[in-house]
């Protein structure tokens, strides 16, 4: 089954949110009101509403990293991931975990990077050479 994923999160300011998701990440803005804005987040619907973001903790043990929980993100083809990593570096984004290879030469080898949106929501973007290995065990 093919489907789109929908995620709704709180953000603290819509204008900085629009600049970050639209200008920095390159997501296309969809519908909006004075209290929320939708984005096409790499093919999925992301709705960002004014409010208090989730509390986060560094409790997710993945490979050699302790990652922020909860977090969200996208899985991209490697070429797209590399282009986005370069775009984020040029934009001066402060990475929580800079672009790195995780699980090298193991099933599920991937590139990953973690950063925060302006409201402090943690985002992970993964890159795979082959989408058939996304769920490899």
User: Are residues 27 and 82 both part of a single domain?
Assistant: no
Q: Which residues on neighbouring strands pair with residue 106, listed in sequence order?
A: none
Note the pLDDT of residue 135.
85
Q: Are residues 36 and 74 in the same domain?
A: no
Average pLDDT for the chain: 94
Alpha-carbon gap, residue 19 to 37, rounded angstroms: 12
pLDDT of 69 higher than 90: yes
Count: domains in the chain: 2
Domain range for 30: 6-50
What value does the mean pLDDT take over residues 107-122? 94
- Nearby residues of 127 by Cβ (< 8 Å), 6 or more positions away: 75, 76, 77, 78, 80, 81, 82, 85, 110, 111, 112
pLDDT for res 131: 84
End of a domain among 17, 32, 50?
50
| Cα 3 to Cα 42: distance, rounded to the nearest angstrom | 13
Read off the CATH number of the domain in which 123 is found.
3.10.180.10
Condensed to tens digits (0 to 9), the pLDDT of residues 9-62 reads: 999 999 999 999 999 999 999 999 999 999 999 999 999 999 999 999 999 998
Q: Answer yes or no: do 126 and 62 share one domain.
A: yes
pLDDT at 137 over 80: no
CA–CA separation, 106 vs 45, rounded Å?
Answer: 31
Judge whether 39 and 20 are in contact, CB under 8 Å. no
pTM, rounded to two decimals = 0.93
Asked if 61 and 123 sit in the same domain, the reply is: yes
Q: Do 32 and 89 share a structural domain? A: no
């Amino acid at each position: 089954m093919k489907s789109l994923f929908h995620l709704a999160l709180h953000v603290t300011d819509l204008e900085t949110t629009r600049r970050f998701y639209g200008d920095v990440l390159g997501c296309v803005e969809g519908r909006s009101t004075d209290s929320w804005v939708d984005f096409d987040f790499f093919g999925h619907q992301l709705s960002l509403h004014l409010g208090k973001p989730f509390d986060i903790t560094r409790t997710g043990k993945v490979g050699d990293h302790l990652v922020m929980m909860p977090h969200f993100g996208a899985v991209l083809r490697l070429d797209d991931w590399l282009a986005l990593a370069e775009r984020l570096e040029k934009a001066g984004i402060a990475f929580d975990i800079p672009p790195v290879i995780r699980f090298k030469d193991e099933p599920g080898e991937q590139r990953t990077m973690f950063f925060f949106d302006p409201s402090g929501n943690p985002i992970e973007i993964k890159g795979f050479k082959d989408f058939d290995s996304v769920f490899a065990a």
